[in-house]
Amino acid sequence: MSMFSLNGKRALVTGANTGIGQAIAVGLAQAGASVVCAGRRACDATVALIAQAGGTASSVLVDFADPMAGQGLFDGAPIDILVNNAGLIRRADAVEFSEADWDAVMDVNLKALFFTTQAFAKAVFARGAQGRVVNIASLLSFQGGIRVPSYTASKHGVAGLTKLLANEWAAKGINVNAVAPGYIETNNTEALRADPDRNAAILARIPAGRWGEASDIAGAAVYLCTPAASYVHGAILNVDGGWLAR
């Protein structure tokens, strides 16, 4: 088997209805995996893209506003790969940030991620198998950002959990890693791109000279799921156009 083949593997991608999650789901299918697309909105478009390319996909509705909503996702056919992409962002000055916005973001980005991954690992261990987890972190796993306190806290937490789970599970057959996207053209960054001053400042800092595309993240996520990354544990792979190098 090719070091970069996922033939025979079954993957579940959260937040797969659009953006980065959709691109990762399509990328996994192109590598040979059968993909379950999970989202709080229908993932029909993603399933159709995969089918049109000759791949295999299905969808399931799940809203991670309930952090325990992913508990039953692994009761059916075995899942070999979990990509935790579902995420939420709320923007306001720290002095005005509400408890509701704090809790909403932390529940989806961190609490749901942990308990969904826990359920995945229990299912993998129960059948004596091996698995891969890829978490979607952020540049704000390393930096502070502005006006996104709960998002920054949650993404720092994602980086920490990635390392902790790798420490506990590497010897048990589950690779846990993360991808940290830079500034990508998605719904979450629409407000930044629409602000001429912020957009110009961001582009001036990116050595690659452009906003990233969702497909730029897909390749890195797929790599971490393949045999080529079998000795990669606890890594956070920056895909940021060189932002953190500057």
Q: What is the CATH number of the domain that holds 206?
A: 3.40.50.720
Residue 183 lies in a domain: yes
**Where are the alpha helices (H) located in 110-241, listed in sequence order?**
112-126, 149-169, 190-194, 196-205, 214-225
Using CA atoms, how far apart are residues 108 and 104, in angstroms rounded to an integer? Answer: 7
Domain range spanning residue 48?
Answer: 10-240
**What confidence score (pLDDT) does residue 86 get?**
97
Average model confidence (pLDDT) across the chain:
97
Residue 141 has pLDDT above 70, yes or no: yes
pLDDT at residue 134 tops 80: yes
Q: What's the confidence (pLDDT) of residue 187?
A: 82
**Measured between alpha carbons, how far is 129 from 34 in angstroms, rounded to an integer?**
17
Instruction: Determine the pLDDT at residue 1.
Output: 66
pLDDT in tens, 88-131: 999 999 999 999 999 999 999 999 999 999 999 999 999 999 99
The pLDDT, as a whole number, for residue 31 is: 97
Q: Could you tell me the two tokens for 165? A: 């789970």
Would residue 36 count as lying in a domain? yes
How far the first Cα of the chain sits from its last, in Å, is: 38
% of the chain beyond a pLDDT of 70 = 100
In this structure, is residue 187 part of a structural domain? yes
The pLDDT value recorded for residue 26 is: 98
Per the domain annotation, does 4 fall within a domain? no
Q: How high is the pLDDT of residue 186?
A: 87
Residues 6+ apart with CB under 8 A from 180: 137, 138, 139, 141, 142, 159, 236, 237, 238, 239, 240
231 tagged catalytic: no
70 domain-assigned: yes
Average pLDDT over residues 199-228: 97
How do residues 159-191 score in pLDDT, each as one tens digit?
999 999 999 999 999 999 999 999 999 887 888
**3 belongs to a structural domain:** no
Query: Cβ of 120: how many Cβ atoms within 10 Å?
Result: 23
State pTM to two decimals: 0.96
Distance CA 105, CA 81 (A): 24
197: in domain: yes
Q: How many domains does the chain have?
A: 1
Lowest mean pLDDT, pick from 30-44, 62-76, 132-146, 189-203: 189-203
